[in-house]
Amino acid sequence: MDGERSKPYVGAMVTIHYDAERCLRAGECARALPQVFDPGRQPWIQPDGAPADVVAEIVRRCTSGALRYRMANGQTETPIRPTAVARTASGQILVRGDLVVETAAGPRRETRAALCGCGTSANAPYCDGSGPCDGRTGPRGTGLVVGTA
């Protein structure tokens, strides 16, 4: 997984990669599969807690892209086509598809991302949930360009 800043959690059939800087702490993973994702446990991700295909399904629900997976056979998430872009009521820009996101560290290949729509994220272009797009206030503006691979 190129441009990797994430921590791998290795299981027998699936490895889950977690990028804490991109996590918006929505809790979808923990609600859907607590035997795998439990923030109160160390390590908090246990990939062997459920069948690999179920784990992959839950990881694909992560709108921020903070969670990704690689199956033991090397298979990863297949990007959706055509690319889908949606803006949340709070201003986050949710993108799914075959993406190339320009970052300060260079371009990153992505299949899912929550991008900052207000321009205040410390983790730009990704939303870090700290600015007006955190869901407590409204967006202040945009200025985002998204390219697809």
pLDDT band (50, 70, 90) for residue 38: very high
4 falls in which pLDDT band (50, 70, 90)?
low
Q: In what order do the strands lie in the sheet with 7-10?
A: 7-10, 14-18, 67-71
Q: Can you give the pTM of this predicted structure? A: 0.82
Residue 10 has pLDDT above 70, yes or no: yes
Q: What is the pLDDT of residues 111-142, one digit of tens each?
A: 999 999 888 888 899 998 777 665 544 434 33
Are 113 and 99 in contact, with CB atoms under 8 Å apart?
Answer: yes
pLDDT at res. 147: 43
Amino acid at 128: D
d(CA 99, CA 77): 12
- pLDDT digit string (tens) for 68-109? 999 999 999 999 999 999 998 888 899 999 999 999 889 999
What is the average pLDDT score of the chain?
Answer: 87
Q: For residue 35, what pLDDT is reported?
A: 98
Are 93 and 85 in contact by the 8 Å Cβ rule? The answer is yes
Query: What pLDDT is stored for residue 143 in this prediction?
Result: 37
- The burial class, CB within 10 Å (0-12 / 13-18 / 19+), for 96 is buried
